[in-house]
Every structure is written in C-alpha cells, then in structure tokens.
Amino acid sequence: MVLKNKKAVVTGAGSGIGKAVALVLAKAGAEVFVVDYNKEAADQVVSEITTDGGVATAVQADVSKQDVVVSAFNEIGQVDILVNSAGVSHIGQATNTNEADFDRVYSVNVKGVYNCLYAAIPLMQKNGGGVIVNMASIASHVGLADRFAYSMSKGAVFAMTMSVAKDYIKDNIRCNSVSPARVHTPFVDGFLAKNYPGKETEMFEKLSATQPIGRMAKPEEIANLIKYLVSDEASFITGTDYPIDGGFLKLNS
C-alpha cells in the first residue's frame, strides 16, 4: 500500500488508460477521485474500486472549462497526486484538419491539462507538496503521419511538464510525463470497427507490428509506470518524460 493516505485525482478516468491508472492507484492505497466528462463511466470505475475494497469518488467535469475544474478541485480540497490523462485523438494533416477539430483537440488535450494544473498546484503548495504526471505521447518526440493536431497537443503537454517541474521544484512539487506508443484501449477497437469493418483483426495486427516489441501496450502497463512515478520511491525524479513504447523511438529504423 505504497500510496496509503494519499489523495489522487485522475482525469479521463472513466475509460482506457485513465481507468487503469485509477484502479492501480486505488489498489496501492490511494483515495482516488475519478474525474470524467461521462458521469456514468466514472461511477462504474468507482464501483469497481470500492467493490475491491478501495476508496474512490466520481467527479463529473469537463476539463476544458476552467471554472468547472477549479470548483471541482476546491471541493476535493487536498490533492497529493494529479494524473492528467483526459484526452481526445484526431486523424488529419495540417491542410485537412478543420478549425473546429483543431480547437476541440486543443481544448481538451492542452487547455484541459493547463486547467487542472492551475487548480491543483495551489492546493499542493498549501499542503506542502505533491506529484503530477501528465500524459504525453511518442507523438511529442517524433513525426507521426496524419496526427497533426494530436501531435501539437502532446508536444504542448511535454513542454508544460518541463515548465511546471522547473517553476515549482522549491514547493516540493514533482512533475513528470509519460509518452506511450500505441495502447490497446476501447478507443482502438472502436476506431478499427468504424474504419475497417470486417478487417479489424488484420488491421489490429498491422498496427501492433509497428512497435518493435510486436504488440500494443496494455493500459495496466502504463498505469504501473505512473504508480511508480507518483510514489515516494520516485522522490528524486522530476522534469522527465518517460517513453513507454515497446522500443518505437529507439529501435525503429
């Protein structure tokens, strides 16, 4: 129970990586606040945590709305751990990404992270410190085809991580990011079903093979890295991005 007596806020925790993070942190002893735009999804995750003996609360919030985020965080009160996992994806290049889609990606992936940092950092300062992990991506390190807006947003997350780590180190606030490659989440299954009907298995194997290790990551693998980064065992780590990519960045040629 390495996170006992810690209060952890996880955004986008109603599904995918965020859900895995919420479950893993709760199992490690943290009291988890499951933040998601979808209240029913958040309630379901809370039910899974409490059934397993953990402590959790569902918080319905649109992270792109600063007043909503600040109000939610102030109600939570104490924040020892913040994991910014809420995010949306988009497929397109600079010339075929329309303004509405660009703004949507920016609002959630960039402004959403900023809003949560804006709300949480003062609470951490008041409490004597805290730990933040932001969800970046390998897209913030290397060019990915047809991921213009998404790459923009994750590059911003990486930059915000470094800035926060620098600015608040004297407040005993650590800030790191993780950069996954492809992770097998419900989003991937939905994407394949929508775009490759009848060829889901073939395309899944093709996408998996783009990573040198030969498969996609499991959400729990990302969550376990985050569990380490927010624990006291990682107390000397700040201002660092951790690729968790099956060798994608270094072994692809």
Which residue segments constitute the domains of the chain, with CATH numbers given?
7-181+218-245 (3.40.50.720), 182-216 (no CATH)
Buried b (16+ CB within 10 A) or exposed e, 40-64: ebbbbbbebbeeeebebbbbbbbbb
From CA 58, how far away is CA 44, in angstroms rounded? 9
Q: Is the pLDDT of residue 1 over 80?
A: no
pLDDT value, residue 253: 60
Is the distance from CB of 108 to CB of 63 less than 8 angstroms? yes
Q: Does an H or E element contain 1, and which?
A: none
pLDDT for res 189:
86
Express as a percent the part of the chain with pLDDT over 90.
85
Closest C-alpha to 119, from 77, 60, 163: 77
Six-digit token string for 94: 């600079």
Per-residue burial over 207-245, b = 16 or more CB atoms within 10 Å of its CB, e = otherwise: bbeebeeeebbebeebbbbbbebbbeebeeebeebbbbb
In this structure, which amino acid lies at residue 13? Answer: A
- Kindly report the pTM of this predicted structure: 0.94
Tens of pLDDT, residue by residue over 172-206, are 999 999 999 999 888 788 878 887 889 889 889 98
Q: What is the set of active-site residues?
A: 150
Give the strand pairing for 7-11 and 81-84: parallel
At residue 150, the pLDDT reads 95
* pLDDT of 40 over the 80 cut: yes
Place 5 in a pLDDT band, splitting at 50, 70 and 90: very high
Q: What is the mean pLDDT of the chain?
A: 95
